[in-house]
Chain A
Amino acid sequence: MTGLIFRRLAIGLVTMWAVSLLVFASTEILPGDVAESILGKEAPDDVIAAMRERLGLNEPAHVRYWDWLSGLFVGDLGVSLGSGREISELIDDRLWNTVRLASVTAIIAVPLAVILGLISAMRAGTVMDRSISIGTLCMISLPEFFVAALLVYVFAVQLRWLPALPIVRPDQSLWSSLTSIVLPVMTLTFAVLAHMARMTRNAVINVLSSAYVEMALLKGVPNWRIILFHAFPNALSPIINVIALNLAYLVAGVVIVETAFGYPGLARLMVDAVGTRDVPLVQACGMIFCATYVLLNLLADVLSILSNPRLRTQK
């Protein structure tokens, strides 16, 4: 088992490296260079040259890649082009805001999705199952910003129950910080719930159609026992996988949700940085998001190895 886990960890490490390479390369692929595209083609040559100097673009690409990568390891993310401030300083608060948004969503969405998926799987083929299936399919098809706009319109504008724009201040009370993220959390839950419920359903259905469940059924074991003691332990590994994968969906979801609500999180910082072509900031934020995504996928795989006895004993 340890061998298998180490192998998976090694693959994760290679993936991370590939990701860092691609993130770095994204600034290299354009014709001309970053300095020119930031300043525009009409900028005088000496200004461009100064910008190149400032960005360190005169070094060969592999040297700059190495500098950038080794900087990441010691937490030196470089300097933002837009504000001239240290990126690590800019990111600090933003990161925690995003983590808070994502973790509150996860706490709500994960149990809800697993329950929906279980209901759907237990009633597979019935009208209830089809309704959940069509309902979740519709949820997947709706853009997050539609859900965001609709929720704001209903709850903030028409009913006036909740603030439309989240106000996040360090000094605010717990209650107001909670009410201010209700709408973003609802939108994000909506976005990940459907995927998670569908995948849970499939994982459980897969287990329910196995021979030992049929055996249990034939020997007259009650339904709830079959689900809880026969199917669930075996579906655990795929379900854990589903959950980790869907936490990764959160990474994508927060980009839209933070922009829609003007929530001061890391994703919004990144979108703004993309808009102003603040390349080092885009790279730093991109690296944080992608690393999280890769790590969650890695975690999913490791957990499913650990929760599967057959994989556990494999050499």
Chain B
Amino acid sequence: MTPDNADASEAIDSPEEQNSNKKRDNLSLTPVAWVSILIIVFWVVVAVFAPVLAPFDKADMVSFESFKVVDEASFLGTDYLGRDVLSRIIYGARMTLGLALIATLISFTTGIVLGFVAAISPGWIDQVLSRTVDAIMAFPSIMLALIIIGGVGTSLPVVILTVALIDATRVFRLSRALALDASVMDYVVVARARGEGVNWIMLHEILPNTITPLAAEFGVRYTFAILFISSLSFLGLGVQPPGADWGVMVKENLQGLLYGAPAALIPAACIGTISVAINLLVDWFLHRSSVMIPEELTG
């Protein structure tokens, strides 16, 4: 992190910072970026190889004592039902990271497709899509989720789709703005003049030229999905026991905190590590590359 790097991601129009954007991408890894990557790789490995790594099954009661602290059998102690916290963390990684990934993939596919369509279609399609997105974004995201879940009831598909919907509105705005910029570029005009179809232009001209900021946004939205799904689980409205993601684990063990059992802090800290790591990596990327995402679109 050299101090002369201006905050490119957050500059809106400042001429000084725009100049700094003109310099070549410098994607050498800083120590912060290294640590972030290590943390992310660690959790991915844990999630993928959960059954191999976990000493116990996530539902096994390994002890009759709840909120037992560390000993040889259970490295991180036991939870409120005497289940092994470590094993549940390992399986929870799968649930937390997996659900968020599915939601983010859905939101990106729909968000990007609709955003591009809005940008290069006739005005009324853009109007309809943009005003709908405006209406959805007029809700605080957690309220929208509560209202939908209140109306429909909770289940994994509902949670995933709700998070995907909320995320998709943000992706829509960003990809529409990026595509609008790209669509007036010479290469798109030339492609149109060549007689290429709309789909071809979106896939071969606009997508490759907007992929870098979209990749950065993927990181931001993925952390949002992790935090959001965990929060819903924490509220008791996301993953339902006996299924367990990290949010559920915090909720289940929160009472234990009052007796001095830190079992609730561990899953919460896990969520913290992965989301801090991803955000710092995205931050590093935005500083070091020439990508610029307008602040009002990242929120």
Question: Contact residues of A with B, CB < 8 Å?
Answer: 15, 18-19, 22-23, 26-30, 34, 37, 124-127, 129-130, 133-134, 137-138, 140-146, 149-150, 152-153, 156-158, 164-165, 198-199, 201-202, 205-206, 208-209, 248, 251-252, 255-256, 259-260, 270-271, 273-275, 277-279, 282-283, 286, 289-290, 293-294, 297
A144 to B3, CA, bound (A): 30
Residues of A within 8 Å of B260, CB to CB, are 153, 157-158
With both chains docked as a complex, state the minimum distance between the C-beta of A81 and any C-beta of chain B, in angstroms: 11
- Binary CB contact string for chain B from 1 to 33 against chain A (1 if under 8 A, 0 otherwise): 101111100111111110000000000000010
Q: Given the known A-B contacts A206-B14, A286-B146, are A279 and B275 also in contact in the complex, defined by CB atoms under 8 Å?
A: no
Contact between chains at B262 and A282 (CB < 8 Å): no
Contact check, B276 vs A142: say whether CB atoms are below 8 A apart: yes
B234 touches A130 (CB 8 A): no
Instruction: Give B278's nearest chain A residue, CB to CB.
Output: A141
Counting from the closest, the 6 A-B pairs by CB-CB distance are: A282-B150, A146-B268, A209-B14, A26-B151, A141-B275, A18-B135
B149–A274 CB distance below 8 A: yes
The answer to whether B140 and A274 touch across the interface, beta carbons within 8 angstroms, is no
User: In the complex, are the beta carbons of A126 and B258 less than 8 A apart?
Assistant: no
Cα–Cα distance between A23 and B148 once the two chains are bound (Å)? 8
Q: Is the CB of A202 within 8 A of B234?
A: no
Instruction: Evaluate whether A290 and B231 lie within 8 angstroms (CB atoms) in the complex, with A146-B272, A209-B14 already known.
Output: no
Q: Which of B5, B148, B262 contacts A26 (CB 8 A)?
A: B148
- Specify the main secondary structure of chain B where it touches its partner: helix
Chain B positions 254-285 with a Cβ under 8 Å from a chain A Cβ? 254, 257-260, 262, 264-265, 268-269, 271-272, 275-276, 278-280, 283
> Which residues of chain B from 124 to 174 have a CB within 8 Å of any chain A CB?
134-136, 138-143, 146-153
Question: Shortest beta-carbon distance, A56 to chain B, in Å?
Answer: 16
**Complex interface: chain A residues within 8 A of B262 (CB):** 153
Q: How large is the interface on B (under 10, 10 to 19, 20 to 34, 35 or more residues)?
A: 35 or more
Select the residue from A141, A248, A270 with max chain B CB neighbours within 10 A: A141
Q: Are B10 and A22 in contact (CB under 8 A)?
A: no
B55 lies within 8 A of chain A by Cβ: no
C-alpha spacing A233/B112, complex, angstroms:
39
Bound together, the chains give a CA A290 to CA B153 distance in angstroms of 20
Q: Using CB atoms, name the residue of chain B closest to A146.
A: B268
A293 & B250 in contact (Cβ 8 Å cutoff): no
- Nearest-neighbour CB distance to chain B for A218, whole angstroms, equals 15
Count of CB-CB pairs between chains A and B under 8 Å: 191
A144 to B7, CA, bound (A): 26
Q: How far is the CB of A178 from chain B (nearest CB, A)?
A: 21
Residue B227 at the chain A interface, CB threshold 8 Å: yes
Q: Determine the chain A residues whose CB is within 8 A of the CB of B235 once the complex forms.
A: 255-256, 259, 271, 274
Q: Please, which residues of chain B bring their CB within 8 A of the CB of A278?
A: 150
B147 touches A26 (CB 8 A): yes
Judge whether A127 and B3 touch: CB under 8 Å: yes
Nearest residue in B to A251 (C-beta to C-beta)?
Answer: B140
Q: How far is the CA of A291 from the CA of B134 in the complex (A)?
A: 15
| Chain A nearest Cβ from B96, distance in angstroms | 11
A145 neighbours in B (Cβ, 8 Å): 230-231, 234, 247, 250, 268
A149-B254 contact given A125-B5, A141-B272, CB 8 Å threshold? yes
Judge whether B223 is part of the interface by a CB distance below 8 angstroms: yes
7 additional A-B residue pairs with CB within 8 Å, beyond A145-B268, A157-B259, A208-B14: A18-B138, A143-B268, A143-B272, A146-B268, A146-B269, A209-B14, A271-B235
